Every structure is written in C-alpha cells, then in structure tokens.
A and B are shown apart, each in its own frame.
Chain A
Amino acid sequence: MEHNTPILEVDGLNTTFHRGEQPLPALRDVSFSVARGEVLGLVGESGSGKSVTLRSIIGLARRYGDVTGEVRWQGQNLIQMPDRALRQIQGREIAMIFQEPMTSLNPLLTVGLQLEETLRAHTDLSQSARRDRAIEMLDLVGIASAAQRLKDYPHQFSGGMRQRVMIAIALAANPKLLLADEPTTALDVTIQAQILDLILRLAQDMDMGVVLVTHDLGVVAQTCDTVAVMYAGRIVEQGSVRDVLKDPRHPYTVGLMRSVPENLPPRTPLYSVPGVPPSLDALPQGCTFAPRCAACVSACTQDRPSLSIATEGRQVACFNPITNSQGNAA
C-alpha cells in the first residue's frame, strides 16, 4: 500500500516512571511514523511498553512520569505542548480507544449524551446537527436502529456493541489519528473480526492513521500495514507486516512467532523463549534481550544495538540478526 507523508512522527521518545527514588525506564528511544490511511501495529508482551507508547503520545503518561523526545504532529511537538493546547488535540485530532469499553463509558449517561458531549467539546455543530451526527456515527459503526439506541445506557449494549459505541465516540469529531489500545482483547473471535474490519474500513473511508496496540500476532497479520515489535521498552524490529512476519530478523520476533502454536504437530512441546523479560529496574547492560537470546554474540552483552536499517523498509535492533527465513526452520 502506498502511503503519503507521515502525519505523526515519533522520534526518540523516552518515558521514565519513578518508584520511590528509582527511575524505571519504561520507554527508550522509540521512533516510528504513521501516515494517513496507514495502520501500524505495536506488538509485544505485557510490560514491553506498547501501551505506554500510546499514552506518551497523547499526553496521558506525563502525569505519572517524565516524557522526553519528539512527537511531531502537524509541525508541533506534542511532548512540549502545554496541557491546555494538548487538550484541543486530544479527542479532536487524535482519538483513543481502550481495551475495556465498559470502564471508559460513563454508566450513568445515555450513549447519545456521551456522543453529543464529545461533539460539543470538539465541533461547532448546532444541537440538531449534533444529534444528526450522533445518529450518523452509530449507524457508521454498525449499530442497528441508531436513533432509538441513542437513548440507551452502556449496560444495555453487549461487549462488542459497547466497543462499537466507543469507536463512534472516538471518531465523532473526525480525528486524523486513532490510537487503539488492545481494542479487541476482551472480545470473542467472531466479534473481534467484526470490530477489526470496522476499524480498517473507517481508517480507509476517513483517511485516518491508526496505531493498533495488540499482543496478538494474528491480529497484526490480518489488520496492519506496518508493525513495530517492542521488547523491554524498545522497538526491536519494524517494517511492513509481510516482511516482518514472513521473514523475522530479530531473534525476539522469531521467538514470539514460534511460541504461537500453529503448524506444529499436536501435543508436542511448544517453543518458548527461555527466561523472562527483564524488570525495568534491572535492565541488562547491553542488548536487553541478550540474556535470553540464542544468537547472542560478545558485542550484545556490552553495547545496546540501535534500530538500524537492515533492508529496504526494514529496521532491526540487533548485532547478529537472523538471516533469510532461518527463523522458520530453526
């Protein structure tokens, strides 16, 4: 897929939380960009920093820690933007949806009211125009008899429908970028397929960029154009979904793909990367993956590899990357 110039450029993003005196480097040197109409997947295990990345971009992380680096959005750096100015962008230009739609909807207000509230905050529409837009949005996300359902409360919707409502609210103000934090993790597979389809369709129709955080490589394979694999707060590999999933270069990506039980003789031991991810307060000196890596060479324990271009459109942070489909055979 051809993409025009990026709308969001993240460059050298660092986020540090503090536990007592101790700094916890939650994100280090995260850089990527998203173009209009592009769906970027951020994939990794819990604690890899994929959610923190979204929260750092939209300014939710700054309340809990130090965020430095650059998040370029239409010529401005969001990291340095004051809270007031940032609020003009949150929800209006950049929207976010979360994993658990129930907790992000107010249970005491009707869905229609919550949709209208967003519209009042972010658009100049008149009251009747807001109502029309609210109906239009519910319709757009595939909720039947939208006009009547505006009067319903969140608990009157099923999990999948609630996530649709969340998407409707998030997209009501016509944002240019959608940050989606595990939007389908709480849903069943058949509903997940519907919601992912919906996000894809809307991204295309509204010419909107999407950053999709997930732990499911299958979701990445079926939904995203590009993917960034995260480990211990860093991006270790990124590129087009086809390249990365069909021919992973970073040993961690290879390990992650292999631990999914697919195309394996049944009831044989599953592969799992030895060891556990390092805790943020005790990161190894060199490459953060080195202690668990089978391809570890002496340089790996001393220096941290930075994300560098391996092939056309592909970046890998590794001194000894796995070459050509060796990963699938190993």
Chain B
Amino acid sequence: MSDATFTPTQPTFLQRALRKPGFVAGLIIIGFSILLAIFPGFFAPYDPNEIDYLAVRQPPSWAHPFGTDLLGRDSLSRVIWAYQVNMQMAVFGTVFALVIGVIVGALVGYYRGIADLIFGRIVDAVITFPFLVLVIAVVAVLGPGLVNMYIAISVVYWVYYARLMRAEVIAQMGNDYAAAGVVMGYSDKRIIFRHLLPNAITPVIVYWMTDMALVILLGSSLGYLGLGAQPPQAEWGVLIAEGRNFISTAWWLSLMPGIAIVLTGLGFSLLGDGLADLLRPRG
C-alpha cells in the first residue's frame, strides 16, 4: 500500500551510547568502581588492617601512594577496601526503596482514589521533614550499623520513588495506548506492568543513578558521625573521620577517601544524565 515506506534503521542503543562521552566516562568510572568493590584484594597492595607502628602517618610515597594512617595501615588499600562497603551502600541503600516505590507509585497512580489521598498525606509528611534528620532518627531508634542504616533509608526513601513513579504513570495514562489497553479488555495488572511501567520508569531509573550517589554521601556522613559503618571497617566516611584531627599534618588521610566519594558520585551522575538521553523514547 502506498504509505508503506520506512525510515532507515536507526542506530542501536549501544551505538548511540558510545557516542556520548559523558555517558562513556560514567560507565568507565562506575565499571571500575564495581571491579574494585568485588575484587579489592586483587587491587589493594596491602592488607587494609595490617598495622605497622614503624610507619605511622607517612606522607604519600612510592611504597604508599596515599600514605599511611595513624596505625601505619596503607591508606590506598583502605580506600580500595572501602569500595566494597560504599558500593554496597549504593545498592542496598536504594534498591528496596526503588522496588517498593515503583510498585506503590504505579498502583497509586493507576487506581487513584482513596489510596492516592492517603499516599498524598504520606508524601507531605515525609517531604516536609528534613531527610537526614529523619534517617538519623530512625537509626537512633534501631541503633547504629549498616543494616539499620539500609532499613532507615528505605523506610523513608521509597516515598520519593513512589511520588516520581505516580506522576509519571498519571502522565502516561494521558496517552491513548493505556485507554486502548482497557478497550482491548486487558487486565489491570497487564496494563500497569506491561504497558505503563516500561514507559514510565525512565525518569525513575535516572533518578536512581543520582540517588546512589546521594546514598553514598549519606552513608559516609553517617559513618563520619559514627552512626553508619563502624571502625575498624574501612568506609570512606569512617576514614575521613579518622583523619579529621590530623587535617593540617596528615591531610592525605581525609583527602583520599574524599576524592573517592566525589569520583563515584560524578560517575553515577554522568551515567544518570546519559541514560536520561538514551532512554527517552523517540518519535
């Protein structure tokens, strides 16, 4: 038939992805961070807990590129081992909130009604409260430690995901394909999870990336305050806290884990920005 011509095939997802330098940089940083987190023993030159009283607070040198700490432990090795903890935070600190938020947001956005009104009040309550204070309060009740921190973050944070997801589902329902699903007699479950969710999730995924950076920052802050990871575990916030008193004499103690935080955060942000571009449906 006459209007049956096609536009030429478009470049694949991978081809488009590789054309974005920011996205590629983010991918490299996060890819390498994951490698460090999984195989810290392979990359770290020393045992992170090996104490050497003869080499306390050594400045960076060839033998210890990041110097040594107050117990003579190799700072580079400790920063590398901390990847394990901090990358774990990025995952466990977000994934439960993500899953719960996406499901609740999709359901509330689809059905609206009373559930939506209740959800609206929850959002108001959570959003008007300073996030950090709320998490600290939950940790204070449950006690310090990583697992309690994950629980505290998830309890508060799913609301942000759900709010985003709800708005996006409502926007998507303005498209006739959702109405077409109803007219086709598809079940609500199919319309929500097969049709609306894949189209609505893009901003949530993008937000997730930046959120992982935020959670690393939050986790380090709690670690710094003594409410997150506990010494002697190597964690960036803990490491910065350990170097705090020596900031003028042994600056590398706090600086190196700080750089690791910034770099990882940058990696996640670049990845998020790139994905925002790549996942946008065309046409």
Contact = CB atoms under 8 A, between A and B. Distances in A.
A contacts with B: majority SS = loop
Contacts of B3: 276
Interface residues of B, number: 4
B5 interface: yes
Contacts of A276: 2-3, 5
8 contacts: A272-B2, A274-B2, A275-B2, A276-B2, A276-B3, A276-B5, A279-B5, A279-B7
Contacts of B5: 276, 279
Nearest to B3: A276
Interface residues of A, number: 5
Interface in B5-32: 5, 7
A294 to B, nearest CB: 14
Interface in A245-304: 272, 274-276, 279
A222 to B, nearest CB: 29
Contacts, number: 8
A275 B2 CA distance: 4
Interface of A: 272, 274-276, 279
A272 B2 CA distance: 9
Given A274-B2, A275-B2, A279-B7, 5 more contacts: A272-B2, A276-B2, A276-B3, A276-B5, A279-B5
Interface in B102-124: none
B127 to A, nearest CB: 25
Nearest to B7: A279
A88 B53 CA distance: 79
A279 B7 CA distance: 9
Nearest to B4: A276
Nearest to A274: B2
A275 B7 CA distance: 15
Interface in B168-182: none
Nearest to B5: A276
A279 B8 CA distance: 11
A272 B3 CA distance: 11
Contacts of A279: 5, 7
Contacts of A272: 2
A271 B132 CA distance: 68
A206 to B, nearest CB: 41
Contacts of B2: 272, 274-276
A276 B2 CA distance: 6
